[in-house]
Amino acid sequence: MNIIVSGCAGFIGARVCEFLLERGDYVFGLDNMSDSYDVRLKHHRLKAFGEHERFAFFRCDISDNLQLLSVCEKIKNLSVGGSVDSVINLAACAGVRQSIENPWIYYSTNVTGTLNLLEFCRSEKVGKFVLASTSSVYGENKTPFSEDMKTDSQLSPYASSKKSAEGLCSVYNSLYGIDTSVLRYFTVYGPAGRPDMSVFRFIRWMDEGKEIAIFGDGEQKRDFTYVDDIAAGTVSAIRNLGFEIINLGSATSVSLNEIIDVMERRSGKKAKVEYHPPHPSDINVTLASIDKAKRLLDWTPGFDIEKGIENSFNWYDANMEFARSIEF
């Protein structure tokens, strides 16, 4: 298959590209290489592809429609058969707290960018569209979060922008029949993860002997989901389903204090923890119901928190000089 992956240099996007290449697809990666976090980490992820004969990279901002259409025309000319089979939209401005500081860029990328890609799919009759959404759309809700719950009370511009993107996917399925899977990811972690996320920061702070900053009492819980499980679920969504919203999570909720306990056992070091007042945009507990993913995608998570943290430490240890230099 010829597959466009936007956000290919991102944490999840790079791993999705690797999975696609392993199964034999032709992958056309788009990324604007934004400096929302240290861009050297994005270059580090792209190195994994080397000069792979079935991977092509294009620097492109999906919120710029003219630029996107120009790049997509090049992709069509390079693709086997001259057409694109699927689009996986992993390009996004992510992060709950940062979205409060600059909501405009979140709507530009997450909503306008999604609209531009859907328009491309409509005009070129692309058979499949996959959108990366987020558990943040659930807001404060009863757990476990299931896809049929009402999601009318987001707590951040980030969550609101993703909910808007989901709505666009529903519209384009209804009007034009674009087969669309909306995947709600739960807190993703793993090797070469985003430096604004807790796992990367906690490992780094423990290594440097610095205090770990936690907003709240540390008992807030997240459904931490390992990146390889997320990537596998995303690739599994490239199938005919109509329009579906599907949770991808570990179905296990772990507190930040428990995460630190796991890290202390792995590192043999005692963490220094500093607690701060909770942030108003933070959800207290996230927990995914994954019955739908099991049924529709034949997918179940394969990594528990112990193994996932171990792999995260292993990457950090193997890339220590580089990891220590990453700017938060």
**Would you name the residues annotated as active-site residues?**
158
Q: What is the 3-state secondary structure (H, E, C) of the chain?
A: CEEEEECCCCHHHHHHHHHHHHCCCEEEEEECCCCCCCHHHHHHHHHHHCCCCCEEEEECCCCCHHHHHHHHHHHHHHCCCCCCCEEEECCCCCCHHHHHHCHHHHHHHHHHHHHHHHHHHHHHCCCEEEEEEEHHHHCCCCCCECCCCCCCCCCCHHHHHHHHHHHHHHHHHHHHCCEEEEEEECCEECCCCCCCCHHHHHHHHHHHCCEEEEECCCCCEECCEEHHHHHHHHHHCCCCCCEEEEEECCCCCEEHHHHHHHHHHHHCCCCEEEEECCCCCCCCECCECCHHHHHHHCCCCCCCHHHHHHHHHHHHHHCHHHHHHCCC
